[in-house]
Amino acid sequence: MNELGTQSVINSEEVNQFTYEIESLEENKKFVTSVYFIDEKDVFGEIYVTHLNDNNKDDWSQWNWINYQYENSHPIAIKPNSPRNLTCINGIAYSEFEASGPFSFRIDYRGEYLKPNLSRQHMDRENHLDNPVIYNRFIAILNEHLSSTPIDTMNNKWIYINKIINSEPRIIKSFQDTPIIRVFISGKPKLLSPNEISKFNKFYTFSINSYHKKYSINEIQEILNSIKEPVLLDMDLFRIADNIIPYYERAISKITSINENYFHLTLWTTAKATYLRKFINSNDYDYHRFTYSLAKHDNKNIIGLRLFDSRRSRKNREVLVLNLNNILVKWLIKVNSALEERSDFLITNAYNKILELLKTPITIDGYESDILNDHINKWREIKGLPSQFLPPKIIIDKSMFFTSYR
């Protein structure tokens, strides 16, 4: 190129700038970025996969370990770089940004699919999988990988697939009929697809409180053997992709404690769910964090419990439950109904505070239940409090709460 008498040479990028094999500090493990080409009508470029090769077996599911954990495993460990995502229009670079997972897309669009806006700086990041040509090519590459001998014969292929879906959530639509969710029916494990799970009229989830008691596999197996309906273990729910939520649009029918509250069996049905929520005010931006499902627990002393630990997933899976059989919860429902009929600013704020104070003991095995107890008792000190707002005489302690799987 000659510009105002100055001659410059512009070289197009080469694939070998982005592909590599690097030995890790761990024996027989190396980091690899491999490339797959796209050469279709109006779409050209490459898809790169940054992955782990462990004893000559390619593993595409270790992005979190590569990107977040390896570097802290040793003082001289350095995480490998992944190619950045690149969007070009008619050969001209338009936007470039870091890849958020193991897959990187460096794509040149020709034709009418992408049209530049007036300000290149304000272009939204292109998700290349929205393009059907790239999506179909990506799925073909992935299916080829999944059918390779080491992957196809692995014991927990369903977990492996879920990890990859987590890296690229848009591809879930191609796995709706793939058996990637484990359930137990009469104690026997069976893999079912998301579509098959969605057709169940009812199923159970099985929660474990391992914080208070060690448990054995045989102990759980005996319980599962006695249940004819499908059962999902809560530990398995954290093995499936974040955008697969089997209990979505389901209601909790009842919760049954087993072995002195060390295990809980939750029945989910297609009925309409009921909730207890904070009343919204103009300064409350996180009211949704204090939403509680209402369900009957067979132990009336239990105030509330948490199903599923949100810390084990990027998506907030936790379900906070209040026990309809508990006297304090019955009172809260009565207060809620009264405030819906006739608002009272001070009482509404006090009610909202209770729902806030409930969350900590529910999510951390009764921690700070004493603070909740003191707060409830101080309601009786409110001058002129109408009788329907008087709280029940109850001593709240940490045994009235349950937190599943830790």
Average pLDDT over residues 32-39: 97
Please say if the pLDDT value at position 170 is more than 70.
Answer: yes
For residue 3, is pLDDT > 80? no
pTM, rounded to two decimals: 0.86
Q: Do residues 80 and 22 lie in contact, with contact meaning Cβ atoms separated by under 8 Å?
A: yes
Report the pLDDT value the prediction gives residue 118, as an integer from 0 to 100: 57
Q: Give the integer Cα–Cα distance in Å for 167 and 60.
A: 10
pLDDT band at 54 (very low <50, low <70, confident <90, very high): very high
pLDDT grade, residue 359 (50/70/90)?
Answer: very high
Rounded to whole angstroms, how far apart are CA atoms 65 and 62? Answer: 5
pLDDT at 312 over 90: no
* CA–CA distance, 94 with 172 (Å, rounded to integer): 28
Assess whether pLDDT exceeds 90 at residue 294. Answer: yes
Strand residue runs (E) in 123-270: 181-185, 188-192, 202-208, 231-233, 251-258, 263-269
> Of residues 249 and 107, which shows the higher confidence score?
107
pLDDT digits 0-9 by tens, 129-161: 999 999 999 999 999 999 998 898 988 999 999
117-128 tens-digit pLDDT: 655 554 445 689
pLDDT of residue 122: 43
pLDDT at 216: 82
- 67: which 2 tokens? 């990107």
Tokens linked to 88:
């070009």
Q: Which residue has the higher pLDDT, 405 or 252?
A: 252
CA distances from residue 107 to 113, 164, 181, 278 in whole angstroms, order as listed: 12, 21, 34, 47
% of the chain at pLDDT higher than 70: 88
Calculate the CA 66 to chain-centre distance.
20
Q: Given this model, what pLDDT does residue 65 score?
A: 94
Q: How many CA atoms lie within 13 A of 57 on its CB side?
A: 13
* Distance between start and end Cα atoms, the chain: 63
Q: What is the pLDDT of residues 361-381, one digit of tens each?
A: 998 889 999 999 999 999 989
User: Residue 308's pLDDT is what?
Assistant: 78
What are 19's two structure tokens? 């592909």
Predicted local distance difference test score (pLDDT) of residue 332: 97
- pLDDT class of 24 with cuts at 50, 70, 90: very high
Q: Write down the pLDDT at residue 318.
A: 80
Higher pLDDT, 337 or 388: 337
pLDDT value, residue 103: 97
What does the mean pLDDT of the chain come to? 88
Q: Mean per-residue pLDDT for 3-22?
A: 79
For residue range 219-242, what is the model confidence (pLDDT) as tens digits?
A: 899 999 999 999 999 889 889 998
Q: What is the pLDDT of residue 310?
A: 53
Which tens digits make up the pLDDT trace of 376-386? 999 989 988 98
Least confident of 197-201, 299-303, 308-312: 308-312
pLDDT value of position 16: 93
Which tens digits make up the pLDDT trace of 80-118?
999 999 999 988 888 899 998 999 999 999 877 666 665
Average pLDDT over residues 328-357: 94
